[in-house]
Chain A
């Protein structure tokens, strides 16, 4: 495609005009109805016009390229596997890559500042819970918009146990996981009959119910003022400084994440994992093959919830203060974004998704107030150009060898 033909420029010109019209009231006029002031900012219109003129050229060019690529892969016999997948598949690439990543992860807290380590802990927590949600959404195909409820259950179990009985982190970890598991089953039961987006909205409802109860039931959860002074994770009773504790929590999270990856990976290839995938592909056919739909859905729900519970306990221990404001629907949405954007069902994809979505807003701090604007735009652009996620799941194929 030629970029600068007359018709292309004409098209871009009209698009620029359209955007100037579209953004006119909000970008150009700023009203303050408290003081009754109006400010006209005509210069913004010029920026919008120029910006949308050039962006529209790039946009159309890239869309066209992407569509051409899609056509090629449809017609071409050897469907081109993406570069990332090739890396993942060939031992020549992924063995050294894994070693390098491993060494990097081990020395990370010693070469970077405490802030970097701290946000890395946050990211690893998200990796873990996103892998949990990946079981529900990616493998079993159940859209869950209230996942944060289980995260809250884990966090509050530890916070309350610690506050009332002084129970430590290591004892609370299995308790939090078990509580979340129980909640997963309890909430799983009523929604088993629902399909698709009805399921999404009911889980969204559950998420909100848990948050609202925590917010209103002061006698139980201390309401919106939250619970403070939660103990950090202990190391055999040794007193650690703040810096030491952050490093310790970091290694703890590395361990937990590896454990999660191991378990999820094994689950995926197990009998139950294949049942989930079958359920996702076709519920009716899956039932016809003799798989117990109810049990399969419930295990997906409950196992997903368990990881959110563990993540919640670590979260409470890391922040040392929790209140219901941390468990809004936005949190569920971000976790879902991680799973979809990374590539549903693919473990490596989900890990990359968490790194992108959690670290991006932190590094975008340099753009201060434009941070969330760029983040929103990035979500749209990534989805438009890579709708299957960064790494889409590779289906296992069995080849007959001669």
Chain B
């Protein structure tokens, strides 16, 4: 067994998985509360990446230094993604809260199409180079051939975001309100939880993690266009379901499992069929654990 080869595939899988996890979080949180597959979530991540690109380019032209650019551009990406997430919820989902669930799904699909074409028309259809916001660290040079410093930053940031989020959900007041709303929206309302506020907060937090994912992956890949949100969005959604939709640790685990599955299958068998295998694996898991790896199986009352 070639251990270095294994290690590289393993780490490659973590990098991939971390990004899936960051985006899957938004899906899983929204789903947990209003049971909606938010198809436009991938687009939020794309808009975050675009905002970062625009702000970073403007600042570079204005001659700011590297650290300021990174901080301001990422801050703007998070801010704008949150604003978009908030607005989309108010426009496209809130009026549909009492409607059949599939109607909200179609509304989400429409929103996703709208946002893609909005960026396409307002910006460009070409791939745009994305400045590398994450530098190559000097001290990491000796290990950089196994895992580059950018991938390292991705993994560490994801871990930090996860920990912060877990604390937020577990211990803060809004986190408690979120859990209550997820369990029973009407009951939470009766107990004085402002459900509209909770839903808005969920969209904002989900969008913020997506924006972080967007900035990280765009500077890792070095290029973006208006379509990047869709494919990754689908994959992240698969990850969320794999882990058990509605569960935050589930989203992380689902992302990592999906990343590893793809990475190892491509490495040891064939990258032709990596996606086929990933989907077969998903079907296999769901057949044996119908509510995902960490999902609670709900017993239904009769």
| A in complex with B | yes
Q: Chain A: residues with CB nearer than 8 A to chain B?
A: 18-19, 21-23, 25-27, 29-34, 36, 38, 44, 63, 137, 143, 190-191, 193-195, 197-198, 200-202, 204-206, 208-209, 212-213, 216, 284-285, 288, 329, 333, 336-337, 340-341, 344, 369-370, 372-373, 375-380, 383-384, 387-389
Kindly report which residue of chain A lies nearest to residue B127, judged by CB atoms.
A34
A212 B53 Cβ-Cβ under 8 A: no
B117 A373 Cβ-Cβ under 8 A: yes
The CB with the most chain B CB atoms within 10 A, among A38, A198, A204, A375, is that of A198
Shortest beta-carbon distance from A131 to chain B in Å = 17
Residue of A22, A63, A202, A337 touching B106 (CB-CB under 8 A): A337
B291 touches A (CB below 8 Å):
yes
Q: B98-118 interface mask toward A, CB cutoff 8 Å, 1 = contact, 0 = none? A: 011011111101111111111
B106 A205 Cβ-Cβ under 8 A: no
B123 A26 Cβ-Cβ under 8 A: yes
B287 A25 Cβ-Cβ under 8 A: no
Cα distance, A194 to B288, chains bound together (Å): 10
Interface pairs A-B: 8 shortest CB-CB: A379-B110, A376-B113, A376-B114, A387-B99, A205-B279, A373-B117, A383-B107, A380-B110
Q: Which residues of B contact A19 (CB under 8 A)?
A: 87
Kindly report which residue of chain B lies nearest to residue A195, judged by CB atoms.
B290
A25 B55 Cβ-Cβ under 8 A: yes
Given contacts A340-B106, A370-B121, contact A202 B57 (CB under 8 A): no
Q: Which residues of B contact A202 (CB under 8 A)?
A: 282-283, 286
A193 B290 Cβ-Cβ under 8 A: yes
B130 A33 Cβ-Cβ under 8 A: yes
B193 touches A (CB below 8 Å):
no
A375 B103 Cβ-Cβ under 8 A: no
Q: Which residues of B contact A190 (CB under 8 A)?
A: 283, 287
B37 touches A (CB below 8 Å):
yes
Given contacts A372-B117, A383-B107, A384-B96, contact A33 B131 (CB under 8 A): yes
Q: Which residues of B contact A23 (CB under 8 A)?
A: 122
B47 touches A (CB below 8 Å):
yes
Shortest beta-carbon distance from B239 to chain A in Å = 10
The CB with the most chain A CB atoms within 10 A, among B103, B119, B124, is that of B103
Cα distance, A212 to B279, chains bound together (Å): 10
Given contacts A33-B128, A190-B287, A202-B286, contact A212 B276 (CB under 8 A): yes
B102 A344 Cβ-Cβ under 8 A: yes
Pick out which of these stretches binds chain A: B76-84, B133-141, B156-164, B200-208: B76-84
Apart from the given pairs A33-B57, A191-B283, 7 other A-B contacts in the complex at a CB distance below 8 Å: A31-B54, A197-B35, A197-B37, A202-B283, A205-B280, A336-B102, A341-B106
Kindly report which residue of chain B lies nearest to residue A29, judged by CB atoms.
B54
B20 touches A (CB below 8 Å):
no
Q: B244-257 interface mask toward A, CB cutoff 8 Å, 1 = contact, 0 = none? A: 01000000000000
Kindly report which residue of chain A lies nearest to residue B114, judged by CB atoms.
A376
Given contacts A206-B283, A377-B114, contact A26 B47 (CB under 8 A): yes
A376 B117 Cβ-Cβ under 8 A: yes
Cα distance, A383 to B98, chains bound together (Å): 12
Q: Which residues of A contact B237 (CB under 8 A)?
A: 201
A193 B100 Cβ-Cβ under 8 A: no
Could you tell me which residues of chain B, from 266 to 302, have a CB within 8 Å of some CB in chain A? 272-273, 275-276, 279-280, 282-283, 286-287, 290-292, 300, 302
A201 B83 Cβ-Cβ under 8 A: no
Given contacts A31-B53, A33-B128, contact A212 B273 (CB under 8 A): yes
Q: Which residues of B contact A380 (CB under 8 A)?
A: 91-92, 107, 110-111, 114
B110 A29 Cβ-Cβ under 8 A: no
The CB with the most chain B CB atoms within 10 A, among A21, A23, A202, A337, is that of A202
Shortest beta-carbon distance from B296 to chain A in Å = 13
Q: Which residues of A contact B234 (CB under 8 A)?
A: 204, 329
Q: Which residues of A contact B129 (CB under 8 A)?
A: 33-34
Cα distance, A285 to B107, chains bound together (Å): 31
Cα distance, A31 to B291, chains bound together (Å): 44
B95 touches A (CB below 8 Å):
yes
Q: Which residues of A contact B116 (CB under 8 A)?
A: 372, 376
Cα distance, A23 to B87, chains bound together (Å): 11
A30 B122 Cβ-Cβ under 8 A: yes
Shortest beta-carbon distance from B6 to chain A in Å = 25
B1 touches A (CB below 8 Å):
no
B128 A31 Cβ-Cβ under 8 A: yes
Shortest beta-carbon distance from A125 to chain B in Å = 21
B58 A31 Cβ-Cβ under 8 A: yes
Shortest beta-carbon distance from A195 to chain B in Å = 7
Kindly report which residue of chain B lies nearest to residue A334, judged by CB atoms.
B109
Q: Which residues of B contact A329 (CB under 8 A)?
A: 234
Q: Which residues of B contact A137 (CB under 8 A)?
A: 102
B238 touches A (CB below 8 Å):
yes
Q: Which residues of A contact B115 (CB under 8 A)?
A: 376
